Amino acid sequence: MPERTEDDFRSQMSAIESMLAQVERFKNPAEQDLVRKLVSAILEIHAKGIDHILDHVASIGASGVLAVDAMANDDEIVGSLLLLHGLHPATFESRVKLGLLSASKSIEPHGGSVELLSTENGIIRLRIEFSRQSRASSSSSSLKQTIEQAILNSAPDAVAIEIEGLTTIENARAVEHSMVGFVPAESLLKRSARSAV
């Protein structure tokens, strides 16, 4: 995908986040509720449309399923939209493993290995181990960033990342600004669901 398109997408997602923050500052609760309901309705229509597109492509057969998987995993815009609507074909754990595979390629030359312990409730627990010589020469913070970024690129919906053997990352959302175009659906809909009750 051209870099300009990805940069434009990131800018648009950032603008949406900013507008949503402005809505939260509206003094009139009725106006806030109206905007939330509008956003919710638009998201529901888009989710249904995207779901139908995926069904049509998948109905082609194995090549259609492979095409959907490739788009979801290789195109960050498509992957982000599918995640937003809960339609990504890969499970959370498999996306974490994909990110971990990418991170491992950077960690192994430092004499390190990383193991996935669990992904329960969106909290990713890892263990990293180093050989005695490499522990001293490896930068803990740069390895942590490498792991964190690789996982968040594949699983931006992670709630937290905890790494035994390195400093714990308390909340993966604190690094959301570095994530590519992911806006959690709950941030768009959290209050509209409550107000509908």
CA distances to 91, 98, 118, 154, 196 from 79, in Å? 12, 14, 23, 9, 29
**How many other CB atoms sit within 10 Å of the CB of residue 55?**
11
Tell me if residue 60 falls in helix, strand or coil.
coil
CA distance 65 to 48: 18
Q: In the prediction, which pLDDT does 146 show? A: 84
Q: Are 50 and 78 in contact (CB under 8 A)?
A: no
In this structure, are residues 101 and 73 in contact, taking their beta carbons and an 8 Å threshold? Answer: no
- CA 29, 19, 150, 135 dihedral sign is negative
User: pLDDT, tens digit, for every residue of 99-144?
Assistant: 899 888 878 877 778 889 999 999 999 988 876 555 544 566 777 8
Residue 93 binned pLDDT confidence (cut-offs 50, 70, 90): very high
Q: What is the pLDDT of residue 183?
A: 54
pLDDT of residue 47: 93
Burial letters for 57-75: b for 16+ Cβ neighbours within 10 Å, e otherwise?
Answer: ebeeeeeeeeebeebbbee
- Write b or e for each residue in 1-40: b if 16 or more Cβ atoms lie within 10 A of its Cβ, otherwise e: eeeeeeeebbeebeeeeeeeeebeeeeeeeebbebbeebb
Please state the pTM of the whole predicted model.
0.64
Instruction: Give pLDDT tens digits for 148-164.
Output: 888 888 888 899 999 88
